[in-house]
Amino acid sequence: MADAAAIESNSADHVTVSPHAHGFAAEITGINLADGVSDAEFAVIHQAFLDHKVLVFRDQPLEDAPHQAFAARFGELDGHINKSTRQKGMPNVQVFSNVKADGKTTGVHPEKGTLVWHTDKSYTATPSLTTVLRSPAIASKGGDTLFADTARAYEALPEPTKNKIGGLRAIHDWGRSRLKSGERPATEEEMAAAPPVDHPLARTHPETGAKAIYVGNHASHVVDMDRSEGEALLAELEAHATQAQYIYRHKWRVNDVLMWDNRCTMHCVEPYDAAKEKRAVHRVVVKGDKPV
């Protein structure tokens, strides 16, 4: 007869998945990520991730090491191209913060590109599968993260539009993205590490088979289409995918852990008063596969 500890290790009955409206995003309770995740618990989390696309874990006071360890359950970790935001001694952890060493604010939001709709690292050949974010410090007003369900948005497209974009591809370009968001220009080193790539406008999810609109700020223009016409199409698709019925708004609490599926969502951060409010997030990204 199996002992109680063995039975517990093979069970995840204590883990609860509570979906938000329309089934887009869900809150996971009954688990302490700092203690590590058993195979049974991971199976529940992974299925919820595929079903709901955005997962929220409240009251998780993680350090960087267990944060990394949890993200690594989903695959190979991938450091950010912007080396200045990498955590010292732990390059796969990226820190976005407006808090200086003396505790005062910098007065500016770090990485303006996070303030516009995007999907993480789509400017690379193998964009992010998932991003795992935690919040050591939050703004009391503003600073929410908004998510768009680009799979549901694709489903709602008229058939002529689906047919139109079915064979089209867009160039995703780190350098162009920086210019569009008003950030500092990309460096030569960054452009050499991540030259422009092309991805389909309608991406097929490798695990669920569902199609999703695949655009955002990193998308520069459409291949073999007049530049202005292609930019207009990208803007049209983004506007469609970010309508209110496709949005989940995450209101941060201290020690939240938030993760999302970059293959079928876009996200952006709501502005806040960066001179008065202190906000810091730690980010770990898992490498995905080539979009098809």
Residue 184: exposed, middle, or buried by beta-carbon count in 10 A (0-12, 13-18, 19+)? exposed
Collapse the DSSP code of 85 into the 3-class scheme (helix H, G, I; strand E, B; otherwise coil) and give the result. Answer: helix
In a domain, 141, yes or no: yes
| Inter-residue contact 253 to 134 (CB < 8 Å) | no
In a domain, 43, yes or no: yes
Phi/psi for 9 (5° steps) reads: -65, -20
* CA distances (Å), origin 205, targets 34, 137, 154, 160, 211: 30, 33, 12, 21, 6
In a domain, 292, yes or no: no
The whole-number average pLDDT for the span 149-165 is 98
In a domain, 50, yes or no: yes
Question: What CATH code is carried by the domain that includes residue 132?
Answer: 3.60.130.10
In a domain, 123, yes or no: yes
Two tokens, residue 175: 């350098």
> What pLDDT, on the 0 to 100 scale, is given for residue 86?
61
C-alpha dihedral over 221, 240, 214, 27, to 10 degrees? 150
In a domain, 236, yes or no: yes
**Cβ neighbours around 283 below 10 Å, total:** 21
> What pLDDT, on the 0 to 100 scale, is given for residue 6?
35
pLDDT tens sequence across 17-65: 999 988 999 999 999 999 999 999 999 999 999 999 999 999 999 999 9
For the question of whether the overall pTM of this predicted structure is more than 0.85, the answer is yes
In a domain, 94, yes or no: yes
Q: Based on the structure, what is the number of domains in the chain? A: 1
In a domain, 126, yes or no: yes
Two tokens, residue 166: 């079915």
Q: How wide is the angle at C-alpha 177 spanned by C-alphas 51 and 265, nearest 5°?
A: 10
Two tokens, residue 103: 């505790």
pLDDT tens sequence across 185-237: 999 998 999 999 999 999 999 999 999 999 999 999 999 999 999 999 999 99
User: Residue 132 belongs to what domain range?
Assistant: 4-287
pLDDT exceeds cutoff 60 at 7: no
> What pLDDT, on the 0 to 100 scale, is given for residue 112?
85
pLDDT tens sequence across 72-104: 999 999 977 766 666 667 778 988 888 888 888
